[in-house]
Each structure stands twice: as C-alpha cells, then as structure tokens.
Amino acid sequence: MEKHRSLENKRVLVTGGTGSLGQTLVNRLLSGRDGLPSKVVVFSRDEAKQHYMRLEHLERKAATDDIIYQNSQDRLAFRIGDVRDESSLSAALRDIDVVFHAAALKQVPSCEYFPYEAVQTNIHGAENLVKIIRDRSLPIEAVVGISTDKACKPINVMGMTKAIQERILIEANRDIPQTSFMCVRYGNVIASRGSIVPLFVQQIKEGRPLTVTLPEMTRFLLSLERAVDTVIAAFSEGQRGETYVPKVKAAKIADVAKALMGNRELPITFNGIRPGEKVHEIMVSEEECFRTIERGDHYVILPVLPELRETAEVKPALTSEYSSKNDNIDIPELLELLRSAGGEIEQFISEISISRSI
C-alpha cells in the first residue's frame, strides 16, 4: 500500500469545476482539510457559471469554517475551455500536479436524444486527457475520474459513455507509469442540479402533484459532501486502476416524495420511465464482486486488467451485486439523510419537522 497522497502545495485542475460536484470539491480543496493546494484551476466551458462562481468566492473577505481565503485570489483560477478540445485542455494541464476529471454530459434524457454529444464529452474528453499526459510526458501525479452508478450494467447512453470513460482512464495506467489513474462511482447526489429532490421541493412549495416515474423505482442517495469525501479518498489512498464506491443508503423514490411532503396531502402521479432510465441502480455488478474489496467507508473495485492488480489474492467484500433495490431505508431515516444535503434542503426538512410537531 502506497503512503497517502496529500494536496499540500499541489497545483490542482478540476475539469467541469462549475458543476454541483465541481463547486463543492473546489470549496473542499480551498478549505485545506486534505492539505492546502498552491493553486486550484477551474476548467469549464460555461463562462456565466465561472463568472458567478468567481464573484461568490471573491466576496468572501475573511477565513470561515468552510474556506481559507488567505491569498485566495491568487490560489483560485478559472480557465474557459472544453475537454473535447485537445489544445485548450493541453494548455490547462500545463504545470498541474493533480486532476479531478468531473466534466461530463450527465442528464440521462439529454444523452438519449443527443448520443454523439455524450460520446464527444464523456469518451473523447477522457481520451484527450490521457493522450495529452502520455504524449507530452506530463509529470502529473494523479487523475481521479468521476463516474456514475449508471456506468454499471449500462442501459442508457450516459451510462454507456461513462463505462467506456472508466475503462479509458483505468487502462491509461498501463503505459503512463508516472501517473496514477483512479475512478469514483456513486449514485444520486441529493442537492445536485437536475436531481429529483430539488424538483420535489419546488413542486411541494407550489402545491402541485409530485411526479414519480414508477412506484417501485429506487436510487442510491448521498450528499454532495459524501460524494466529495469519496473523491478525496480515491485520491488520497487509491491505488492505480482502482474504482471507489461509497457505502451509502438507498430508498424508494416514492418514499422520498412522501418524506418531503410532511403533513401536506399532495397527490403523487406516476408518469412512467423516461428514455434510458433504470428501475434500480447498481454500483457494483455481480461480475465485479469477485474483485471488490472493502476499505473503510468504501468498496473498492480492483482493475479489470489483471496486470494492473497488485495481488492475485483477493478476499471479495460482496457476494452479490450492490443494488439500490436492496435494504431500502424508511421515512424517518430518509429524512435524516435528506437533511445531510444542507442548504435549502436542510432548511426545508427543518420546516417539515416543525409542522409535524404542531
């Protein structure tokens, strides 16, 4: 086992750094909890999101519990660019030590309607990253690719492209010895843009029916902070070619709707599966079980390529697939999990609790 990596004085690039996960990850990096980087570069193609993210950070003048802002204007930098474009990505990778690769097309229906757009970003973007590091012999210490439970036994374009992205990054370990490539695979982030919980909150506030696909549909649920914990763990302690999967709770989506309603009596309408959706998600398949081990709060899938594994002896941590259909939590536990999302969701849950006690 290698000693743990640290972010102290590292120059870090976050592709897709203006997304929900990207912004939370940047906050975590600037907090110094895992070692304070000398530079954090946000790389994305959305100039408006970069503008507002820059303003948000510059308006914080003093150190807080969340962010260390000493010399923050020098520490945090922004670059407009697209992982699809090799030249702009190459310029961003200059003088970088660590890459967190979060850039992606991730909305399932959008990828179904525009599949090649998902290929361009999710597959070609990862290949560009690997190609640049390999062809320019860049001294990058580690790359952590952000994947999804939908990459496991994929049935939709987003999952298919993410599954190939995982393989591209893991395989890169074979001929780029100076860089450790790891992946992270996780489920639904409670408060992320486009996720179901913010939509339910909006529907409840407006007194509208709550729209659910099917009564039996389930999902893994985790907070943005828990997702970032997994990303940092993969960087800190992950070995070449490993995929980190958090041990998290799963719930029926209909129960999420009921939990958020509190004492309100709003109808739930079931409108069927959207293009490309699964009824249940899987984070570790039964085919991956035999090479999955436990490490703290995570399952770790060892590389599919045997030559990348450190040992042939593996004591599997799972005997069957790790699926959201199993061990669903009840509504009281679900409320506590939703509260962990923080921000507007936590405030909404507190209001529900007050109304229930009246």
The pLDDT profile of the chain, 358 residues, written as one tens digit per residue, is: 456 899 999 999 999 999 999 999 999 999 999 999 999 999 999 999 999 999 988 876 554 545 544 455 679 999 999 999 999 999 999 999 999 999 999 999 999 999 999 999 999 999 999 999 999 999 999 999 999 999 999 999 999 999 999 999 999 999 999 999 999 999 989 877 767 888 999 999 999 999 999 999 999 999 999 999 999 999 999 999 999 999 999 999 999 999 999 888 899 999 998 888 899 999 999 999 999 999 999 999 999 998 998 776 788 999 999 999 999 999 999 988 888 877 788 888 887 765 555 4
Residue 6 belongs to some domain of the structure: no
First to last CA, the chain: 54
267 lies in some domain: yes
Give the pLDDT confidence score for residue 263 in this predicted structure: 83
150 as an active site residue: the answer is yes
What local confidence, expressed as pLDDT, does residue 69 receive?
Answer: 46
Say which CATH number the domain at 72 has: 3.40.50.720
Distances (CA, A) of 194 to 106, 188, 251: 9, 10, 18
- Helical H runs in 68-142? 72-75, 86-93, 108-113, 115-118, 125-135
Q: How many domains does the chain have?
A: 1
Give the Cα separation of 207 and 86 in Å (integer).
48
For residue 5, being part of any structural domain is answered with: no
Note the pTM of the prediction, 2 decimals. 0.91
Sheet containing 39-44: order of strands: 76-80, 39-44, 11-15, 98-101, 142-148, 180-186, 243-246, 298-301, 292-295
Residue 4 inside a domain? The answer is no
Could you say which of 150, 162, 252, 278 is catalytic?
A: 150
Q: How far apart are CA 17 and CA 24, in angstroms?
A: 9
The pLDDT value recorded for residue 63 is 47
1 located within any domain: no
DSSP 208: P
Reading the block at residue 92, the tokens are 């961003």
Which pLDDT does position 158 carry in this prediction?
96
Burial class of residue 307 (count of CB atoms within 10 Å of its CB; 0-12, 13-18, 19+): exposed
Domain that holds residue 153: 11-357
Q: Is residue 119 part of a domain?
A: yes
Structural domain includes residue 303: yes
Q: Is residue 105 part of a domain?
A: yes
